[in-house]
Structure 1
Amino acid sequence: MTTLTAPAPAPRAHLTRWLLRLHRPTLYVWAGLLLAAAVLLLLLRGPLADAAADAWRQYDSCTDWRRCTYDQNAILRYKDWYNYATLAVAAVPFLTAAWAGGAFGKELESGTAKLAWTQSSTPVRWLAVRLAVPAAAVAAGTALLVWLHHLAWAAGDDRIDTAKQWYDVWTFHTNGPTLPALALCGLAAGALTGLLSRRTLPALGLGLLLTGAVWTAVQLLLPRLWPTRTSTGKAFFALPNSSWTVRTGKHAEVPYGDYHPASHYWPLQLTTTALLLAVTALLTLGCFLALRRLTGKTTA
């Protein structure tokens, strides 16, 4: 462990500008991805959803199947592009984790970080800026994608028979604040693995694995983060299609099911977001502890 002599603190604005210049190619790629995803989501909200809805109306109004005509391609086109867009938006936290792990690991592996600590910034300020600036960009960009995705999903809800339900695993997260929270978690996870491994490729892979582990744990806990309702007997078979059935069984030959109605959407979103932000805070604390172990006691 090496104790560094603290340099004269550089202004935060200077550190931010230098960081933006350093990662300018990444910013261009991020902006390009945001633009492409936004265009696709707007198409899904507008002409693609309208065409699929019209095709389903034609299909549902058919009385003579020998003469029934409807635009099947419009239905399939909407379904395919919706899935592509949803998976692309859902991948943001994992891309963030990979980038953060690689970026932190590269700076420590190449010695760029130590050079900055001795010439322009203290280690704590270096880490704070490298977490805060990407966090702002990731949170803002992901929130925009989530908003546009929710608009695209709402345009097909109740109009397109094959539209995803609110509880579909990918749709649920890409429609609400859980995704920006998971993206911030991925950023902290990647930064922590970079600080611990101090190598580019291992940090990139470990950041992905850690984010994947958090995602898996959230999926297992999600149905239990808000109390379910229980329906028994004949009422169990009359649940609305928008209900998320999480468990079924029989007790004394009477069927029962635990489920979340559509009104539980926001309670589940908010409790999951709070959990992810708590994990993000712990990972961020781990980053600063790892930095302290790496550099020794330094001034902020």
Structure 2
Amino acid sequence: MKHTDTPAPTPVPAPQPRLLPWLLRLHRPGLAVWAGLVAVLALALIAMWGPLGAAAADGWRQYRDCGDSGPCGYDQDAIIRYRDVYTYTTFAVIALPFLVAAWAGAALIGRELESGTAHLAWTTGLSPTRWLAAKLAAPAALITAGTGLLVLLHHLAWSANRHRIDTSKSWYDSPTLHANGPTTVALALAGLAAGVLAGLLWRRTLPALVAGLGFTVVLRFAADLVMPYLWPSVTHVTGPDTGYFMAGVEVDSGLVTSDGRHIADPGCGPSFVDGCAEMYAKLDATGVYTEYHPESHYWPLQLTTSALLLAVAAGLVVTAFALLRRSTASTPTRTGASPRTAVSAREEVAV
């Protein structure tokens, strides 16, 4: 009887998980919290832009119409309500980057490395580099869309009411400045990158959360410090009896001497204060100067600061990929597992 060799079965490649459905299942609680937070803040900002702002503006109109005629009625509750909603929403918007950084360090990366979920994903044919790319791309898109929407609505609400409500914040008020512009979006993306890098470095949930949050706080503080110096400022000089000119983001201030030199202010005050005129005479000071950014510099300051933050974010992302490649150089990936085994592993990853 002639014997015929049976050909060896060809290994069936393990099916790779579809990245977007996998990420949505894995981080469903975080997505729900983000969507709910964006929705609530968006509704509050739309209300400020519309009925809350209109009611507060009408209350201030009633108050101004009272003049000096004595007590009269005006809608004080509407004024206070708008002020409170503005304060809470402004600080909530500028707090989003720190929330993103904490979540990225703890839930997005740190918890998966600590529990072994990430390594399990790598055994289903999903390479570590592709895993990290998916972890960054999908959240970055959602963060950009959500934060960008809230910043736009905040700017619209503030712009609509700045000249109608007497207590409206100035454009250079620090919380308003950031809540109104793209610096918050850029910082949120930098916070995402910082949290991801912290998760890869510490590989545990709590340390990654603290490290990502801490780095984002430092980054925000540094951005505030360098922002005034990213664009040329203008100088305004006044007499020593009028004090400093305050109408923008201040860069520097001091005294001007008769030969045009700028010297430090001794802190005496206007020249009509007792002893100040004599002190200025000894210093040969003829006026005071203020280096500042007027409102026309709003977008240059916003865009240069945002560009700097995005450059930092890009550097953190490059560092994260380099660190991941270095730490997973010997990590095996399963390419020849049976379909049933691969599907079971994929289902475990999605839990």
Superposition TM-score, scaled by structure 1 size? 0.91
**2:318 maps to which of 259, 272, 285:** 285
Task: Could you tell me which runs of 5 or more consecutive residues in structure 1 were left unpaired when the two chains were aligned.
Answer: 1-7
Counterpart amino acid of residue 63 in structure 2 = Y
Looking at structure 2, the residues matched to 295 and 76 of structure 1 have their Cα atoms a distance apart, in angstroms, of 56
Bigger mean CA offset, 246-255 vs 102-111: 246-255
Looking at structure 2, the residues matched to 68 and 242 of structure 1 have their Cα atoms a distance apart, in angstroms, of 33
Match of 1:88 in 2: 92
Match of 1:139 in 2: 144
Looking at structure 2, the residues matched to 102 and 187 of structure 1 have their Cα atoms a distance apart, in angstroms, of 11
Q: 1:242 to 1:255 in 2, by over 3 A?
A: closer
Once the two structures are TM-superposed, the CA of residue 69 in structure 1 deviates from its matched residue by 2.6
CA contact 2:244–2:289 (8 Å) conserved in 1: no
Partner secondary structure for residue 251 of structure 1: strand
Match of 1:274 in 2: 307
Superposition TM-score, scaled by structure 2 size? 0.78
Looking at structure 2, the residues matched to 9 and 224 of structure 1 have their Cα atoms a distance apart, in angstroms, of 54
CA contact 1:9–1:122 (8 Å) conserved in 2: no
Q: 1:10 to 1:226 in 2, by over 3 A?
A: farther
Q: 1:227 to 1:43 in 2, by over 3 A?
A: same
Once the two structures are TM-superposed, the CA of residue 280 in structure 1 deviates from its matched residue by 0.2
Match of 2:28 in 1: 24
Q: Is 1:168 the equivalent of 2:173?
A: yes
Q: 1:235 to 1:266 in 2, by over 3 A?
A: farther
Looking at structure 2, the residues matched to 62 and 47 of structure 1 have their Cα atoms a distance apart, in angstroms, of 23
Counterpart amino acid of residue 263 in structure 1 = S
Match of 2:188 in 1: 183
CA contact 2:15–2:124 (8 Å) conserved in 1: no
Looking at structure 1, the residues matched to 194 and 188 of structure 2 have their Cα atoms a distance apart, in angstroms, of 10
Alignment RMSD (CA, Å): 2.2
Counterpart amino acid of residue 152 in structure 2 = W
Match of 1:58 in 2: 62
Partner secondary structure for residue 68 of structure 2: coil
Match of 1:44 in 2: 48
Counterpart amino acid of residue 260 in structure 1 = H
Match of 1:229 in 2: 234
CA contact 1:97–1:190 (8 Å) conserved in 2: yes
Once the two structures are TM-superposed, the CA of residue 294 in structure 1 deviates from its matched residue by 1.3
CA contact 2:41–2:89 (8 Å) conserved in 1: yes
Match of 2:80 in 1: 76
Q: Give the % identical residues.
A: 56
Task: Could you tell me which runs of 5 or more consecutive residues in structure 2 were left unpaired when the two chains were aligned.
Answer: 1-12, 258-284, 334-351
Bigger mean CA offset, 228-237 vs 253-262: 228-237
Q: Is 1:130 the equivalent of 2:135?
A: yes
Q: 1:17 to 1:69 in 2, by over 3 A?
A: same
Once the two structures are TM-superposed, the CA of residue 293 in structure 1 deviates from its matched residue by 2.3
Q: 1:247 to 1:68 in 2, by over 3 A?
A: farther
Match of 2:200 in 1: 195
Match of 1:5 in 2: none
Once the two structures are TM-superposed, the CA of residue 243 in structure 1 deviates from its matched residue by 3.0
Once the two structures are TM-superposed, the CA of residue 153 in structure 1 deviates from its matched residue by 0.7
Bigger mean CA offset, 149-158 vs 240-249: 240-249
CA contact 1:177–1:270 (8 Å) conserved in 2: yes
Counterpart amino acid of residue 224 in structure 1 = Y
More helix by share: 1
Once the two structures are TM-superposed, the CA of residue 247 in structure 1 deviates from its matched residue by 2.4
Once the two structures are TM-superposed, the CA of residue 235 in structure 1 deviates from its matched residue by 11
Q: 1:232 to 1:242 in 2, by over 3 A?
A: closer
**2:329 maps to which of 266, 286, 296:** 296
Looking at structure 1, the residues matched to 243 and 163 of structure 2 have their Cα atoms a distance apart, in angstroms, of 19
CA contact 1:230–1:259 (8 Å) conserved in 2: yes
Mark the structure with the bigger radius of gyration: 2
Q: 1:213 to 1:244 in 2, by over 3 A?
A: closer
Q: 1:173 to 1:62 in 2, by over 3 A?
A: same
Once the two structures are TM-superposed, the CA of residue 234 in structure 1 deviates from its matched residue by 4.5
Partner secondary structure for residue 34 of structure 2: helix
Q: Is 1:256 the equivalent of 2:260?
A: no
Q: 1:152 to 1:267 in 2, by over 3 A?
A: same
Match of 2:19 in 1: 15
